[in-house]
Amino acid sequence: MANAIVTVHGGPVAVPTLLGQGPTRISTGGKIRAGIKVLTKKATCEPKAMAIYEQGVAAGQSFEQIERAISEALPSLKTPLVPRNVPWFTVRAQDFPNPDLARQILDSYGEDRGEGRRLYRFPVVFPSDHWPSVMPHELAAWGAHEKHYWSQYSADGRVRHCMCHAPVPTDDTGRRTIRLFGGRKSVERADNSGLCEPERCREYQLRQCNLTGRFLFFIPGIRSISAFELHTNSFYAMQAAIQKFETVAFLRGGRISGFLDRQRTPFFLTKTLREVAHIDEQGRAVRVPQWIIDLEAPVDVTTLMRESEDAETALVQARLASQVLQGATEAAESSELPDEAQATGFANEAQTFRDDPPMREGRPSLEQLMGRVRAYGIEPELYRTYADRRWGRGWKINPHGRGRAWDELERYRHDPQGYLDKIERELQLAGAGRAE
C-alpha cells in the first residue's frame, strides 16, 4: 500500500508533486499510549531509580524521558522499564507539543474509577475513508535510534517485501557522500531476496522484528489541526478494528470518516479484557488475560441503512421537483411534435429502457421505471393510479417501493399486453368495490 492514492474526506485525490511523490500522510500532534511502563524487578532495588521514576511520573514526563534519565544516572540498568497492561490509556503532557491538550482530553473524557482520573473510553473521528491510512501498520525491526527493516507491500498488494535504507552513495573519489534530495532511499533487503517471510526471518524469530501499528484520529471537542495517535502491537486489536472498519464502510457506502450518523455518533476507543492465546517457548498454546484495545461503533445499524435510502430519496425528490418546474415547457414542446415524430420518440425510448439495466441492484430511478411503463404501451397516469393502490402513494420516492414495481414489470417483460389487462382488471374491481 506504499503507493496507494489516498483521499482524505472532503478533499481531492492526492497527486504527485515535487515534495509529494508518496501517499498522503496524516500529520500528528500528540500521542495517547495504550498502557504504562513500570520499573523492572532489578530497578526497584535501586533507590535512585525509584526516585527518578516517581518524580518523572508526577511531572507528567513520557516514559522514554524517564527511562533515559534512569539509564544516564545508572548505566548498569540497560532496560530499567517494562510495559504493563492496564485497563486505561495513558495521557501525559510531554507526549503533546501543546501540553494543555493532555489536560483537555482528561478533563473532557477522563473518569475516576478508584485509581485517580484516567482515560478509559473516549470518542474518535477518523479523517479518511481509506482504513490503512488511519490504521497504518507494518512488521518492523528497530535499532536504538532508527528502523533497520520494515515490511511493505508491492503496488498490486500481492507480495510483501522486506525493506531497508539504501547505503548513502559517494562521489567518484569515494571519500565524500552525495547530497540526497528527500532523505535516504529505501531498497529491498538483499540478504533475503527482498521478501518478508516471518517464519524464515532471523530478526522475527529473535523477537527483534514485530508487528506495530497505530490509530490516527481526531477527538471531538479537542481543538487541534493535527491528528492524535494511539500505538498498538496487538494483532487481535488491529484485526478486530479492520473488521469494524469494513462493516461500517459497507453500510455507509464506503465511508468511515466523520460522524457515523445524523446524531453525530462517533467511534469510541476503549479496552476490553480478553483471553488471548499465544505459543510459549515450549510450543504450547497458552491463554492469558489481556486488556485489548477495542474500537466501538455504537450506532443503530438500521439507521445507517435508512440514511443510504434517504440519500436516494432526496435525489428522486429533487428530480421530481425539477420535472414539476419544467413540465409545462416540456409538455408544450411535446404537443408540437407531429404524431409520427412522437411515435418514433416512444419507440426509441422503449428500446432504451428495454436494454438499460436497473440502477443499484434492482433500485431504478423513477424516470427509468416510467420509461419501461411507456415501453409496454401503458399510459403513465393509469400505471400511477394502479401503483398507488398496490404499494401506497409513497412507492415512487421509496427505493424499495420502486424496486418492487420494477420486479413486477420484469415478470411481464414478455407479456406487456397481459400486464395492461391485469392493471385494468384490478382498477375495475377497485372501482366496483367503491360503488358497492
* pLDDT greater at residue 359 or residue 102: 102
pLDDT category at 1 given cuts 50, 70, 90 is: very low
d(C-alpha 219, C-alpha 96), whole Å:
14
Position 430 pLDDT exceeds 50: yes
Report the alpha-carbon distance of residue 292 to residue 313 in Å, rounded: 41
Average pLDDT over residues 100-114: 94
Name the residue ranges covered by the structural domains of the chain.
28-35+85-299, 36-84, 304-435
Rounded Cα gap, residues 264 and 174, in angstroms: 61
Smallest CA-to-CA distance from 84 within 229, 291, 237 is with 291
Q: What is the pLDDT of residues 125-156, one digit of tens each?
A: 999 988 988 999 999 998 877 899 999 988 77
At residue 403 the predicted structure's pLDDT band, cuts being 50, 70 and 90, is confident
Q: Is the pLDDT of residue 171 over 80?
A: yes
- Give the pLDDT band (50/70/90) at residue 296: very high
Torsion-angle region of 288 (φ positive above 0: left; ψ -120 to 50: alpha; else: beta): beta
pLDDT band (50, 70, 90) for residue 301: confident
Distances (CA, A) of 102 to 8, 66, 118, 125, 296: 26, 18, 11, 17, 22
Does position 251 have pLDDT exceeding 90, yes or no?
Answer: no
Give the helix/strand (H/E) hosting 381. Answer: helix 380-391
For the ranges 107-121, 275-289, 408-422, the one whose mean pLDDT is highest: 107-121
| pLDDT on residue 22 | 57
Q: Which of 34-43, 175-184, 277-286, 289-298 is least confident?
A: 277-286
pLDDT band at 306 (very low <50, low <70, confident <90, very high): low
Of the pLDDT bands very low, low, confident and very high (cuts 50, 70, 90), residue 191 is: confident
Which residues contact residue 316 at a Cβ distance below 8 angstroms, ignoring those fewer than 6 apart?
Answer: 365, 366, 396, 397
Judged by DSSP in three states, 287 sits in strand
Tell me the mean pLDDT in the region 303-321. 55
317-337 per-position pLDDT tens digit: 555 555 555 554 444 444 444
Q: At what angle do helices 301-335 and 235-251 cross, to 10 degrees?
A: 30
Contact assessment for residue 380 and residue 344, using Cβ atoms and an 8 Å cutoff? no
- Grid coordinates 435508512 are at which residue? 306
- Residue 326 has what pLDDT? 57
Compute CA distances 412 → 384, 401, 418, 425, whole Å. Answer: 17, 17, 7, 15
Least confident stretch, 210-219, 253-262, 353-362? 353-362
Grid coordinates given for 287: 491463554
Please determine, for residue 228, whether its predicted confidence score (pLDDT) is greater than 70: yes
Instruction: Return the pLDDT at 350.
Output: 40
- Residue 10 clears pLDDT 50, i.e. is over it: no
Mean pLDDT of 403-426: 87
**Per-chain mean pLDDT for the chain:** 80
Higher pLDDT, 78 or 339: 78
Q: Determine the 3-state secondary structure of 12 from DSSP.
A: coil
As a whole number of angstroms, the distance between CA 192 and CA 200 comes to 9
DSSP 237-263: HHHHHHHHHHHHHHHTTT--BS-SSTT
Task: Find out whether 388 and 378 touch, Cβ atoms under 8 Å.
Answer: no
* Range of lowest pLDDT (355-364, 401-410, 414-423): 355-364
Return the H-helix or E-strand segment holding 276: strand 267-279
pTM to 2 decimals?
Answer: 0.63
Three-state secondary-structure class, residue 15: coil
Taking the C-alpha atoms of residue 258 and residue 126, their distance in angstroms, rounded to an integer, is 6
Q: Looking at residue 355, what is its pLDDT?
A: 42
- pLDDT, residue 391, reads 79
